[in-house]
Structure formats: structure tokens, C-alpha cells
Chains A and B, each alone.
Chain A
């Protein structure tokens, strides 16, 4: 019994096909689905594709950024306006993977993958689902229920961060590129030198990227200097439950989390 590949011109049609069949999977860049297909994953009976040009659309205004779910890491690296995201896109695999890996796919990549989703979480991104009753929901909500039911993402959107307020660090054993031990993304808008409405997210610590809410609270109203961030560092691991995997143990992830958070916040070299 071989698989069927269905290709649609419009995303809505793809979404419909996807929701109409349990064994249907949407093929983005292929880094996850093609591998499963090569391993003859019996859960996959149909591959759904979409050639909808909207999928690969990047829209950048002075205040807002919209990324089609099919936008690849390579496309982001080619977009000058998105320079603040280049370190994140460059952190995803080697050049060949970056040509394939998509924004949408990264939202569903299991830990320790999902560095780009981690960045989007810190950017307070919203996700627009395709298909009937297409609706917008916070990325955090999607990550919470991504394993239940198939939802096709059309695009993500977020407010464009003020210059120099977005930071990203990926910790990996292998240089220049390896799978994350952990990744930290932070959006830290400053009002008269103090953090106002900051967002911090961790990747590769749990099954999905997570917000570091204790750290966000501890940073609120603080300036970014060694003394002022101390409470945030103390709270670095509050409410997060790191996992053991082939890359690193939960213990080590927990131990080095505050170290790398400090290095990120103070702009120290890692």
C-alpha cells in the first residue's frame, strides 16, 4: 500500500484535504515528513502539498512582519529587512536544510528542534490557520495543542521589534552547527533603560518551546546590568522541566540555563 500525493493550488483546498483524512500529512520542507515517509511510517497514507504562492510570502512593514508558513530559512536569510532573524534562521541546520526548512514546519518540529519557533514565541507571534473558519491564535496556544489533530498553518505574524531589542542564543555541542542543547530567545523593549513588557522563550528544554514567564516577571522594570538581572537568573529554571535526551541531560540543561541567560542578557561572549 503506497502513499498518495495530493497537490493543491490553494491552501484552503489543502487544509480541507488534510482535515478529511486521518493519515494525511502536509509536506512543507520535508525535513520531518519525508524522513517519516522514507521509514514507511504506517501512520502516513496521504501527502498533501500546496503550491499557493501566499505560502512563501514575506510581508514586512515598519510595524509588522508576516511570514507565510512555507517561507524557508534561506528566504529569511535573503531578506535584509529581517536581519534580526538571521541568527535564528542560520541556527537551523546546514545550508541544504535551510533551503528546505520552513517557518510552518518549525512550529511542529519536536524538541530538540524548533529554534525558530522559540524565537517566534519571544516575538509574541500569532498563527493564522488555513481552511474553514481560518482564525488567528497565539503561537503559545498552537504549541500547546499541536500534537492533537492536524491544523494547517497559513502564516505567522508579529509586531516588528524595535531595533536591538531582540536577542537569540543557541547552545549546541557541535560547531558551527548542531542540534540545540537549549536555545533562548528574548524580546526586551526598554523604556528609559528598563525592561517593559519583555518576552523570553526557551527551546529544546521541554517537548515544545516554552515561555520563561518567571524570568519575564523578574526582568520587568529592571535595567540590563549584572546586579539588576540577578533575580531573573535565579528564576531562570522556575517552572520549566528540562528533559534528558541523546544531546544532553536535564541536569546539565538546568545548570547552564542561567549561565547562558546571563550571557545573553549582558551580551557576553559565549
Chain B
């Protein structure tokens, strides 16, 4: 099923290796097939207590009153945890790297901002007892108007979702409601383009659906420490988040994990650890907080929905001369990690293509839905869907083979990317050539001969710098032995001239003419 093509790029590799490159058996496979791999919940403790949270039935509401008397008296209930019990009841995941304001409570106190937001937690001798007690809690709400559409949320009269960001957008650089990308002059290029195509793309919210749901067990340890068995994807990230919310020194927490029943991004948010630890502190007993499948499906953060508008300026000879993107990340009620994905999305625009004029505005928008988070391909998956569907439409519009159209515009070593860094170590063209060969997708000779390593002169890219043989032939070399970030410093990088005259054809007029002429207007497949 999988074939390695060692012949391609062989000159850049040292294949004289003993262990690397071998199909060695997984270290954890025997444990998996014998059912002995120990996941967080495969540890047993006497007198284990169980935590369940009460979740808001409303997408947006003010909490008028909470009555826990009956619940507190219910059999098996050891403790009810309210917002006031949480030492630091406001946090944002990326505060650990000083990105964004604390905006999300562990337990809602006055207002709930999405359906399923936790309001209080009940710790009981069994999961059943906890669930039964939850049913006895009486809460009265004043429902508030809610907003669910990202573009509605940006209207001036829209309901404000998140008090930390009253305009419903994350704040970038302390002054913008979105992240910008500006490269060349798209409007001028659109005016010069043979064709301008625009379309709208919409990603759906997606559940990570790992077969093991999020969960953790917090166990009071000797000398005032707590051992936490956890399903987290990020051990110290979760440890530090839990320490902050519980106002504990981090060395009072001992996190153990590392064998996790799937994550795909859904186990970064540290949804269970802080409350499990708090409950263990308040009761002095081991406490398990295991999300139910229903909770995981609807109230564990999903991959956020993204709405993306793409506008391309295309020439009949196959060149894309301008690309404009406007994107809205549906972050739900709180930030979690969407703010980060926005920047990653901006960096990815315009995709693996060399386009001389690029313009993007990407927004992280708050709505009254379950907060979104990272998922496999974070910030890129939906954009790739939009870009690659748009590439197809562009190709059809100019009557060019969609694969050759991509290869024509593919970035190559030495090209200048829209975020003003030189493209290096490119291989898009080679991937296209091999896939086409495998699938009997007809490519014409000049496309079969193309290479990512032939740098392209011309206005579309910075003067190509030939890849130095040394660095190319030394794959083992890693970057702390060299300038940590291989891209040139901003200052050294010639910004592309803002042009009003039509951009020069990518590979220099004559070369370009030769490459493109046979493509002109032909329709194949």
C-alpha cells in the first residue's frame, strides 16, 4: 500500500542509517493487543469519588438563582463546587505564552454563554449518585438573545458574547480585530487579471471523537501533593493550566499520562484536570472526572467552523496574479486556541503557490456556541479545502488541466512567500508528478520535467539563492547548530514592490512564454 521512492531527492539524503527508516514494531503494540496498555482510567483507588458538572441548557442567559439544597442532601453527595470555590476562575489557555486575555471561567457564575457551559460540579460516591443529585439542582435563568453566525456577530448591533472581547472578535496587536496579510497590490492586479473568480466556503464544526473520552483522576498524595492521571495531549500545558486555576505551585502537581486513547486535538484544552484537582483538595479523596460520550460530542470543544471567502485574479496563461482571502473562525463563546489558529491560517495563505499579490484579513469571532479548539490540521484544513476547490475553479475557468495549473503556480526553492520568507526545501511539484504517474493522470512533457529545485527568477520572487550543497547534503544538521530560524531577517528581505503595472510573468518573459504557450486555452480530460 505504501511505496518509498528513494530515487527522488536521493542527492540530498544520507541513507546510510541502521535504525531510522526501518519498519520497526511499535514499542506499545504488545500492550495494545493484550489489553495491558494503561490509560488514565486504568488506575484504581480506594474510595474514589466521581465528579459530574451541571451544564447550561441555554446558549446565552443570566443566572438568576441557584438552589442546591436538595442536591446537597442527596445520597452519596460529598461536595458541591460552585464558581466561588474556584481559586482562579478565569483563564485562557494561551495565557501560558502571554497570548490573549483570561476570558473563560471554569464554572459560570452570573452568565452562561453557550449551551453546555459548566455551572457547578457535584462530587459523589458514584457517578450515578452525582447524576441523580444534578437532577435536583434548581437554577432559574433569564434567557438572553444569542448569536450563532460569525458575520452576524460582527454587526455593530450584535449581541456581545464575551465580556473580555465586547466586539465579538479577538484583539490582535492590541489594536486590530483581525490579523492582516499584505503582499503586493491585489486590487491593481485584479484590474489587470484576465479573470477574477470569487467564492465562499464553509467548514462544519467537527467532533474529535476519540474512542476514549476526556478525563482525569486527581489523587491526594503524600506531603500535600496531588497525583493526576490524565488523558491530556500536553502534559505540562495541562499541569501549568491546572496549577494556575487552582493557585497552586506547579511542583505540588504530579501529572502522569502519555498513553492516550486518541486525541486529534481534543485533549489539549485541559477540560477536566482543574476541577478534578479542586475536588480532590476539597474532599481529601481521589476524584475522577470522566466526560460522558454525550458531553464529549456536544460540549467538548469541536474543530471550529470556518467561513472563508477567496477571490482570485487569474491570467489565461495560467498564472494566478492575485489572491484575496477573508476568513472568519467561529471560536464559540471563548478563545481557547482559535486566536492562534487565525495566525497559522494567515501564514498559510495563499497556499503552496507563488502569487505576487496577496491580501488577507482573518477574524477570530465569538458566538454563543461550544468553544472551539485545535484539531488535526488546525487553522489549515478548512483553508486547504477552500484554496484547493478554488484552484479547481480557476483551472476550469481558463480551460487548463487542474493538476498542471497547480504545478505551474507551485512554489519553488527561492520563491518569495506572501509572509515574506524565502521558500526552501519545496517538493509540491514532485508530489504532483509522482501522483499523476501513479494515477495515470496525463501530464505533458514540460510538466513531467518541472522541478521544485529550479529557482524561478522574475518579479514574483526574491533573487533566488541557490541551496548550498553543504546544507542540502547534511540532513542530520539541526537548527540550533545554525541560526535558529532559517528564514532571513525581515530587514534583509526585499519587500516586493507595490506594482501598478501588470506583474511580469513568473519565470521571466521568454522562459514563461515557452512554458505557457502550449497551455494556452487548451482543455484536456
Contact = CB atoms under 8 A, between A and B. Distances in A.
Asked whether the complex places CB atoms of A and B closer than 8 A, the reply is: yes
A42 B135 contact: yes
A1 B135 CA distance: 12
B103 interface: no
Contacts, number: 13
B452 to A, nearest CB: 39
Interface string B123-149: 000011001100100000000000000
Contacts of B127: 40
A141 interface: no
A23 to B, nearest CB: 13
B131 A40 contact: yes
- With most chain B CB atoms within 10 A of its CB, the pick from A2, A39, A40, A42 is A40
Interface of A, helix, strand, loop or mixed by DSSP: loop
B502 interface: no
Interface residues of A, number: 5
Contacts of A2: 128
A41 to B, nearest CB: 9
B205 interface: no
Interface string A1-40: 1100000000000000000000000000000000000011
A243 B199 CA distance: 32
A76 to B, nearest CB: 29
A42 B131 CA distance: 9
B125 to A, nearest CB: 11
A153 B128 CA distance: 29
B75 interface: yes
A39 B75 contact: no
B75 A1 contact: yes
A40 B292 CA distance: 12
Interface residues of B, number: 8
Nearest to A40: B131
Contacts of B292: 39
B131 A39 contact: yes
B496 to A, nearest CB: 48
Contacts of B128: 2, 40
Contacts of B132: 1, 40, 42
Contacts of A39: 131, 292, 294
Interface string A34-58: 0000011010000000000000000
A1 B292 CA distance: 21
A39 B132 CA distance: 9
Interface string B186-218: 000000000000000000000000000000000
A265 to B, nearest CB: 35
Nearest to B130: A40
Nearest to A37: B128
- With most chain A CB atoms within 10 A of its CB, the pick from B131, B292, B294 is B131
A42 B132 CA distance: 7
B293 to A, nearest CB: 10
A2 B125 CA distance: 12
A35 to B, nearest CB: 10
B291 to A, nearest CB: 13
A42 B135 CA distance: 8
Contacts of A40: 127-128, 131-132, 135
B290 to A, nearest CB: 12
B279 to A, nearest CB: 19
A198 B32 CA distance: 53
A97 to B, nearest CB: 16
13 contacts: A1-B75, A1-B132, A2-B128, A39-B131, A39-B292, A39-B294, A40-B127, A40-B128, A40-B131, A40-B132, A40-B135, A42-B132, A42-B135
Interface of A: 1-2, 39-40, 42
Task: List the 9 closest pairs (A to B, CB-CB), nearest first.
Answer: A40-B131, A40-B128, A42-B135, A40-B132, A1-B75, A1-B132, A42-B132, A39-B131, A2-B128
Given A1-B75, A40-B128, A40-B131, 10 more contacts: A1-B132, A2-B128, A39-B131, A39-B292, A39-B294, A40-B127, A40-B132, A40-B135, A42-B132, A42-B135
